[in-house]
Structure 1
Amino acid sequence: MLRSRDTDADDDSQKNLHLLVVEEIARHKGVPPVRLHPPLYSVIDPDALDAVLANDTSESDSLSLTVSFEYDGCVVKVDSTHDVEVVPSDEASER
């Protein structure tokens, strides 16, 4: 299991969330982000992902939203705190 929380939070806030997702999937797969196949946009709309999980500080801190989707044998979970988790599909189904 990989989580983006292991990276610097300041760096995370400067990137679009979908780029963090691409980096975590690539790290999980052991390939450079540009070598991911299929491209993320063929599975989920990157702009919509960014918009849905935008970290809006005007909202209550108690609200949290998580988006999960399957990507090439993995389940990817992304939340509104920009935490990204990538696990194999079979491992995710055991949870």
Structure 2
Amino acid sequence: MVSKPPLDPRNDGSEDGMTSEPISKAISDVVIRAIAEKKGCEPANLTPPLYDVLDPDALDAMYGRSSPRTVFEYAGYQVTIHPNESITVIDTSR
């Protein structure tokens, strides 16, 4: 399988605050890095930790076997993981 190069997880400049990044490693890590970048903090400083919201191992296992569309809320953002192996992060406080 050919992996896609990672894109910069920072805001792409759109007014809606969306960010997309190909999944090139564990999806839970990609989600954590994207949210940390949006919040302007280190991934280790995110509160609550992702594991308080969902099971990161289960998320990684699910995307290791298939490519569903998954939507959940985490740290004030709506996270959508798309079947095309990208994520969208939208600030829900707007």
TM over 0.5: yes
Q: Does 1 or 2 have the higher relative contact order (CA < 8 Å, sep 6+)?
A: 1
Structure 2 unmatched runs, 5+: 1-17
Q: Report how many residues are paired.
A: 77
8 Å Cα contact 1:53/1:65 also seen in 2: yes
Partner AA of 1:41 in structure 2? Y
Distance 1:50 1:39 in 2: 16
Percent of aligned pairs with the same residue? 36
Matches within 5 A, 1:1-95: 1-5=18-22, 12=24, 15-54=25-64, 64-89=67-92
Counting strand residues as a fraction of each chain, which structure ranks higher?
Answer: 1
Q: Aligned-pair distance for 1:90? A: 5.2
Structure 1 unmatched runs, 5+: 57-63
Distance 1:20 1:55 in 2: 17
Q: Deviations over 1:26-84 (max 9, x none)?
A: 1111111111110001001101111112255xxxxxxx511110012210111344311
Distance 2:82 2:55 in 1: 15
- Higher gyration radius (CA): 1
Let me know the Cα RMSD of the aligned residues: 1.9
TM-score of the superposition, structure 1-length normalised? Answer: 0.69
Distance 1:21 1:46 in 2: 10
